[in-house]
Chains A and B, each alone.
Chain A
Amino acid sequence: MRVACLPHLQHLHETRPSYPPGRVFFFAKECYPANMITSLEPKILETKAGGWILLVGPRSLNPSMLDAIARLGQRTAVRVLDGGNRFNAYTVARAARGRPEVLDRITVSRAFTCYQVLSLLESTPASQVPFIVLDLLNTFYDESVQAGERKRLLRVCISQLERLEIAAAGVVSVHPPAAPSPAAVELLELLQASAADTYFMQPEAPAVEPLRLF
């Protein structure tokens, strides 16, 4: 597992000062984050069976995720498991230029609660079709479910991901919660501990606009 710093969670340092070293996060501001990318390169999604990849980034990167799904659909069938209602079919259709043969290769299943996420993963058969889980932790941030229960469900979900990864490659995307909490960090740690590789995605810097004459 690789280690990288997560700038948007740096404020959590105050709430958890005794964060153990050598784990997933470290909070040195001067360090250049390892394994940090600004765009979703196709090679990330071209993973092989035997390990799923975790992508951590802000919600603004969801369109590039959908674009990558469309590009992957041009070559192979894809299973998309949507845990946060992030799959915008219009964006994917536009990225695929409306080609029905590409859109037919993409299968979408949605879940709206953490219990449904578990049920969705359990009902997904292990096959050689690569799978992409969008915003897995979205429903796990729901505080109406007790933190212990959420962690238990996530552990079972991880075991299901491990079942799926045996036959096919997988990518799991995660966005930070709107209201940061230590429980959310623990959930993310759980995921990172079982991921084969973790990438922290940063939005691309806006292009410099040329100077205007008027």
Chain B
Amino acid sequence: MGRTLPSATQVFLQEEAAFARFRRALRRSDQHALDDLFSSSRQHLAAAQYASHALPFEVFLLSMLLEEHKEVVRMRQLLEEHLSRQP
């Protein structure tokens, strides 16, 4: 028996390929930013597989948001530490 649905990794690669033309049209710096977004989403493929959502791309977008929010929280903590050290 084979798989009845593509795995999260396969869907992710398909989605990434679907945006190839969009990526190509971006500036080089924006291409790097887009690659960062996709790589941050790639970290949560296991969770996306477990979620079994009907629209996997929504889960990928949420994974990107999750990583962005983690970065915001980390920078906020750094800023608060920096401000607390000032006399």
Same complex for A and B? Answer yes
Please name all residues of chain B whose beta carbon is closer than 8 Å to the beta carbon of A103 when the two chains form the complex: 54
Q: A89-B5, A93-B54, A94-B55 are in contact. List 14 more A-B contacts (CB 8 A).
A: A85-B4, A87-B4, A88-B5, A88-B6, A89-B4, A89-B54, A90-B6, A90-B11, A90-B55, A90-B56, A98-B55, A98-B58, A103-B54, A110-B4
Can you list 5 A-B contacts with CB-CB less than 8 angstroms, sorted by A residue number? Answer: A85-B4, A89-B5, A89-B54, A93-B54, A103-B54
Counting residue pairs across A and B whose Cβ atoms lie within 8 Å, the total is 24
Check if A85 sits within 8 Å of B2, measured CB to CB.
Answer: yes
**Interface residues of B, Cβ cutoff 8 Å to A:** 1-2, 4-6, 11, 54-56, 58
Interface of chain B, main secondary structure: loop
Please name all residues of chain B whose beta carbon is closer than 8 Å to the beta carbon of A88 when the two chains form the complex: 5-6
Number of interface residues of A (CB under 8 A): 12
A112 within 8 A of B: yes
Please name all residues of chain B whose beta carbon is closer than 8 Å to the beta carbon of A85 when the two chains form the complex: 2, 4
Query: Assuming the A-B contacts A88-B6, A90-B6, A90-B11, are A112 and B54 also in contact, with contact meaning beta carbons closer than 8 angstroms in the complex?
Result: no
Best-surrounded residue of B1, B2, B54, B55 (most CB of chain A within 10 A): B54
**Interface residues of A, Cβ cutoff 8 Å to B:** 85, 87-90, 93-94, 98, 100, 103, 110, 112
Please name all residues of chain B whose beta carbon is closer than 8 Å to the beta carbon of A93 when the two chains form the complex: 54-55
Please name all residues of chain B whose beta carbon is closer than 8 Å to the beta carbon of A112 when the two chains form the complex: 1
Please name all residues of chain B whose beta carbon is closer than 8 Å to the beta carbon of A89 when the two chains form the complex: 4-5, 54
Please name all residues of chain A whose beta carbon is closer than 8 Å to the beta carbon of B2 when the two chains form the complex: 85
Check if B54 sits within 8 Å of A90, measured CB to CB.
Answer: yes
Check if B1 sits within 8 Å of A98, measured CB to CB.
Answer: no
